[in-house]
Amino acid sequence: AALADKNAKTPDIKDGSAPVFYKGTFGLPAGASNDLSGDTFLALPNGVKGNVWVNGHHLGRYWVVGSQQSLYVPGAYLYGGSKPNHVVVLELEPKANTDMIARGLATREWANHPDPDAA
């Protein structure tokens, strides 16, 4: 399931823009647990390089070049029930005409992609 605020709008940015903060909310699916059994991973498929926070907890850095493209989210960091979970993304290299989305994953994604700065 996508972890994105359907009401959020991507700012009008151009390639080479200054870093951008994105924020959104998501809820846990019905029956999901917010304890240790609810551990998950978060991926930013359109992200290039940046940092991610969930509910005020820094999850870490991601970079399209390296293997750190999905971040571990402890279930204890998540809110259950009707309380929304908040995601903040600091994208250091925003791309024009690209929506920032986040996806929850059951397993970690491993991949390496070419460095967009080396082109």
For residue 115, name the pLDDT band (cuts at 50, 70, 90).
confident
User: Euclidean distance between the first and final Cα of the chain, in Å?
Assistant: 32
Say what the pLDDT of residue 4 is.
47
Summarised one tens digit per residue, pLDDT across range 69-113 is 789 999 999 998 888 999 999 999 998 888 888 888 877 776 666
- Residue 1 above 50 pLDDT? no
Residue-wise pLDDT for 60-76, tens only, equals 999 888 767 789 999 99
What's the rounded Cα separation, in Å, for the pair 81 and 116? 40
User: CA 71, 30, 43 angle in degrees (round to 5)?
Assistant: 15
Domains, the chain, in order of start with CATH, read 1-8+20-93 (2.60.120.260)
pLDDT of residue 78: 92
Residue 69: φ, ψ to 5° = -110, -15
Q: Are 32 and 79 in contact (CB under 8 A)?
A: no
